[in-house]
Amino acid sequence: MSFKHTFEQTSLREYDIRGIVGKTLHVEDAFAIGRTFASIVLKNGGKTVVIGCDGRVSSPSLEEALVNGAVASGADVIRVGRGPTPMLYFASVTLKADGAIMVTGSHNPANYNGFKMMLANKPFFGEQIKHLGHLSREGDVVPEAKGTVKTVDIKKEYIERLLKDYDGGDRKLKVVWDNGNSVAGDILPALLDKLPGEHIVLNGEVDGTFPAHHPDPTVAKNLEQIIASVKENKADLGIAFDGDADRVGVVDNEGGILWGDQILVLLARDVLKNHPGGTIIADVKASQVLFDEVKKAGGEPLMWRTGHSLIKSKMAETKSPLAGEMSGHIFFADKWYGFDDAIYAAIRVLGIVARMGEPLSAFRKALPQTISTPEIRFDCDDLRKFQVIEEVAERLRKDGADVSEIDGVRVNTPDGWWLLRASNTQAVLVARCEGKSEAGLDNLKAALTRQLELSGLEKPDFSGDNAGH
């Protein structure tokens, strides 16, 4: 039977395939991904593909079609069932799979879903995803064959491996966990049963409609419930997850939010004790405080491009033991496998807090204070967004500005820094400013606005709350 399938163009993203179920993403797409990705694995000399899914309402039907597609290409499929995305990565590494696909909408709203992929335990992204789309459209796949399917329950092994690296001793912490109705709810009960301390779980039931709040712990509004619970229960800290548990949020004992770069400072100081001089990677959106603190702790800070696939690749290249993004993706190669895992990051944070002689809020307050805008996103045509970045970069070069062009433009001034980059996944430009004072922040906003206006764009909406950082 001949095979050809064309994907909705907007669903082929930089880091994954993602869309709105029933509109830009369908069961037929899932079959085509299985059929084409398995063909790539087989042409690569592989045979085994591990498949898992998150807790979204649409995930079971997409997972089934995905499996059928991979089997139709002759792959040996291992189904690990419902669980966090990092559990799928864990299965891929420990079972030595040739390829892996996770059905997940990640932190997107309930009507979205998508597919994250690994080939030979390396991220499958960018040009590879475009190539998959091309192969599917041309029907350039291996001849139809009959593969095999088996189901493996990896949960127990995954939980045991997570617990192995808990290093907080016997101190009994009081911890609030906001599962956010995420798929981490399949792991938490057995995990917390073995961890010392008192554990309070909010929204523990896996529910793909996310009735409590949106499953993204990097947005302050989504942390209101856990902040209230931490204060009410006088807990030592709170941990929150996104929909597929590869992004982590942390709240201290006073209900103060630790943003992605602050979590990374906490972890970096600890990891660098065993990896003196180690390279710690963070994306371009991270605070200058992070890079300075890594240096102070004896590490080599490296600013890199935003995107979990890009960070993972750079980690492997530089042999970095730890990396992170403002979006709450934390990657450990110290004792772990180099992929982003919010549950594992939480275990490591708990260990540090248990060994600290002071509350977590003391760590947060001791960091140098800056004032930053939230991440500002504004619409800009897919083609135009890259042109704008190039125009701004050219003007800044002519002006002799102190600018990094790793990912968009990040401009350092005596007042702090501002960033403008093109999103890899949407038709938007992303901006952020971090100042050393309110007046400094105003200067940075003005400099950014001027550059946008010179490229014919309107002033962005800075009305969101500035965050102390």
Residue partners of 159: CB distance under 8 A and separation at least 6: 187, 190, 191, 194
Distance CA 417, CA 433 (A): 6
Confidence class for position 459, pLDDT limits 50, 70, 90: confident
Percent of the chain with pLDDT over 90: 91
Q: Return the sign of the alpha-carbon dihedral for residues 42, 44, 49, 54.
A: negative
pLDDT above 80 (res 259): yes
Distance CA 77, CA 36 (A): 14
pLDDT given for residue 269 in this prediction: 98
Name the H helices within 99-194: 127-138, 155-164, 188-194
| CA 119 from centre of chain | 18
Domain 9-153 has CATH 3.40.120.10: yes
Residue 443 burial (C-beta neighbours within 10 Å; 0-12, 13-18, 19+):
middle
pLDDT given for residue 361 in this prediction: 98
Distance CA 324, CA 348 (A): 14
User: What is the 8-class DSSP label of residue 426?
Assistant: S
pLDDT above 90 (res 374): no
Question: Roughly how many angstroms between the first and final C-alpha of the chain, as a whole number?
Answer: 58
Distance CA 224, CA 232 (A): 12
pLDDT given for residue 203 in this prediction: 98
- The catalytically annotated residue of 39, 59, 106, 229 is 106
Residue partners of 55: CB distance under 8 A and separation at least 6: 82, 181, 182, 183, 185, 186, 206, 207, 208, 243
pLDDT given for residue 469 in this prediction: 56
Nearest by Cα to 338 from 126, 38, 121: 121
pLDDT given for residue 2 in this prediction: 84
Q: Tell me: the pLDDT tens digits for 204-239?
A: 999 999 999 999 999 999 999 999 999 999 999 999
Residue partners of 361: CB distance under 8 A and separation at least 6: 252, 253, 254, 256
Cβ 371 vs Cβ 467: under 8 Å: yes
Q: In the chain, which segments carry CATH 3.40.120.10?
A: 9-153, 157-366
Distance CA 266, CA 201 (A): 24
CA distances in angstroms from 188 to 185, 204, 223, 408, listed in the order given: 5, 8, 19, 38
pLDDT above 60 (res 91): yes
- Per the structure block, which two tokens stand in for 139? 């029907």
pLDDT given for residue 188 in this prediction: 98
Residue 463 burial (C-beta neighbours within 10 Å; 0-12, 13-18, 19+):
exposed
Lowest mean pLDDT among 37-41, 180-184, 377-381, 387-391: 377-381
pLDDT given for residue 467 in this prediction: 56
pTM of the model: 0.95
Q: Tell me: the pLDDT tens digits for 277-292?
A: 999 999 999 999 999 9
With tokens 């805008």, the residue in question is 373
CA dihedral 449, 453, 456, 457 (to 10 degrees): 20
DSSP per-residue letters across 175-226: EEEE-TT-GGGGTHHHHHHHSSSEEEEES-S--TT-SSS-S-TTSGGGGHHH
Q: Tell me: the pLDDT tens digits for 304-324?
A: 999 888 999 999 999 999 999
pLDDT given for residue 383 in this prediction: 86
Q: In the chain, which segments carry CATH 3.30.310.50?
A: 371-468
pLDDT above 80 (res 419): yes
pLDDT above 80 (res 21): yes
Residue 322's DSSP bridge partners are 280, 332
Confidence class for position 337, pLDDT limits 50, 70, 90: very high
Confidence class for position 427, pLDDT limits 50, 70, 90: confident
pLDDT given for residue 29 in this prediction: 98
**Angle at CA 400, nearest 5°, toward 396 and 404?**
60
Domain 157-366 has CATH 3.40.120.10: yes
Nearest by Cα to 434 from 468, 385, 398, 408: 468
Active site residue 437: no
- Per the structure block, which two tokens stand in for 169? 């001793």
Helix (H, G, I), strand (E, B) or coil at 387: helix
pLDDT given for residue 468 in this prediction: 54
pLDDT given for residue 462 in this prediction: 83
How many other C-beta atoms are found inside a 10 Å radius of the C-beta of residue 137? 14
Distance CA 283, CA 86 (A): 20
- 371-468 belongs to which CATH class? alpha beta
Distance CA 421, CA 424 (A): 9
Q: Tell me: the pLDDT tens digits for 62-78?
A: 999 999 999 999 999 99
pLDDT given for residue 465 in this prediction: 54
| CA 426 from centre of chain | 16
CA distances in angstroms from 436 to 164, 264, 268, 439, 440, listed in the order given: 41, 20, 23, 8, 6
